[in-house]
Structure formats: C-alpha cells, structure tokens
Amino acid sequence: EPEVTQTPSHQVTQMGQEVILRCVPISNHLYFYWYRQILGQKVEFLVSFYNNEISEKSEIFDDQFSVERPDGSNFTLKIRSTKLEDSAMYFCASSERVRAVGNEKLFFGSGTQLSVL
Amino acid sequence: RKEVEQDPGPFNVPEGATVAFNCTYSNSASQSFFWYRQDCRKEPKLLMSVYSSGNEDGRFTAQLNRASQYISLLIRDSKLSDSATYLCVVTKSGNTGGFKTIFGAGTRLFVKA
C-alpha cells in the first residue's frame, strides 16, 4: 500500500538554527500538507500546498516557515530560526482531492519529532 | 467556541461494550467530516468518512446531523485493540480558495479485559 514517508524521524536542533523536514507524499496525490502536534495537544493545521503553491495557511505558519516542492517527489518544510516552542511532532500528509468535496481523506506520514534545545 | 469540540474522556470500557463518541462543530459551512484514530505518539489514521445518511464499517457506525452540527461515532463489541484516541475532523473552505482540515482534540478510549 502506498504511504507517505518522512525523514528524519527525530531531529534535535539548537534554538535559532534552521531545520528542514522532508516528506515524500503518495505519488498520485495532488494536495500536500503539514501539521504539527505539540505533546499532549491536538493536531494543528499549518499549511496546504497545491499546484506548486500554498493553498491555505494557518496563523501558526508565519514568516519563519516555508514549504517547497523541489522536485517531483519531495515536499519540505523549513523553519528558518527555530524557537523552543517549535518543539513538536510534525506530520506531513497528502490527499487526492480534485475539487470534489468528500475526497479530502488525509494520509499521514509517521512524523518527525523536532526537539529545539 | 472551539471549531471542533469533543469530550476528552477518557472512556474506560470493558471488552465487548458499546461506546459512543460525540463531536460538535461551529462552522455551518463545513463540508466534509471524518473520524480518525491516533495511537500514542503515532500519526492519525483515517477511520471513516461521515455522511448525513449514516455509514457503517463493521463494528463502527458514524452519523452526521448537519442541522445540529453534530457528529457521532459508535463502536460495538469493543476490542482491546480499539484503545486509542479518536479524532473528529472537519473540513471547511479556506480564505484563498483552498480548504482547511480542523482536528478536534480527541477522545481517549481505553478498552480493558
């Protein structure tokens, strides 16, 4: 069964450093997403990406965040200058929705646990 | 008011019990509705979509009431392996033509032998 893959599974970084989280969505999916989940809290939407541009973003997704699809398979989340409060599990997801309500079933990767020290 | 609200639980039930989870959402323009399951420190996994006509998948039954903005999940004959957090998920149109998926905080279920 096709799956979303994320690397690395764990990332430890120093405050102020840049990190890049990597994802390979399911190959025939068109929409890509990043979510985060702080320990003990709910899953929070960060950004959606379609047709090589951001489709929607949340208030959390400020100027220190960026996303990119550098080639035909990878989808990355960059955090420019990490803060302590960026520590969380970051999930990538993809879906095959094509302008049809009801197809927005999300398939998640296993996540990258980011720890900012 | 939270966009998607769930009883956090935990629900502690014996094997074989029937358990029901409820969820309410605040945006009447919400478009799609789902239940996801999340095991501890794992990714959410789609359990089932939710439709107004109601839908069933084995021991799981989901129901949507658009008028009341209410979603339910019923689990019959609970198994130990059903122990997890159940996430109510709602999709709505975003501000720039896309859409956003909003997760509830989840309801924790513990099924005991």
In tens, the pLDDT along A9-68 reads 999 999 999 999 999 999 989 889 999 999 999 999 999 998 899 988 999 999 999 999
Q: Using the predicted structure, report yes or no on whether residue B108 has a pLDDT greater than 70.
A: yes
Contacts of A67 (CB under 8 A, 6+ apart): A32, A34, A47, A49, A54, A75, A76, A77, A78
pLDDT tier, B10 (very low <50, low <70, confident <90, very high otherwise): very high
Non-local (6+) Cβ contacts of B110 within 8 A are B10, B11, B12, B13, B83
* pLDDT value for A32: 93
pLDDT tens readout for residues B24-53: 999 888 888 999 999 998 999 999 999 888
Strands (E), chain A: 5-7, 10-13, 19-24, 31-37, 44-50, 53-57, 65-68, 75-79, 88-95, 107-108, 112-116
Q: What would the two tokens of residue A5 be?
A: 């893959």
8-state DSSP, A51: T
- pLDDT tens digits along A97-112: 655 555 578 899 999 9
Question: A69 vs chain B: nearest CA distance in angstroms?
Answer: 18
pLDDT at A28: 87
B81 in A contact zone (CB under 8 Å): no
Contacts of B100 in chain A (CB under 8 A): 45, 48, 56, 58
Q: Give the pLDDT score at A102.
A: 52
Handedness of CA B109, A25, A106, B2 (dihedral sign): positive
Residue of B25, B35, B39, B43 to mutate when probing chain A, most A C-beta within 10 A = B43
Q: Which of A56, A60, A91, A110 to mutate: most B Cβ within 10 Å?
A: A56
- Mean pLDDT taken over chain B: 92
Q: Which of B98, B99, B105 sits opposite A42 (nearest CB)?
A: B105
pLDDT in tens, B78-91: 999 999 999 999 98
CB contact under 8 A, B102 and A55: no
Tell me the shortest Cα–Cα distance from A96 to chain B, in angstroms. 13
* DSSP, res A9: S
- Residue B99, pLDDT > 70, answer yes
Express each pLDDT in A70-100 by its tens digit. Answer: 887 899 999 999 999 999 999 999 988 655 5
> Residue A51's pLDDT is what?
86
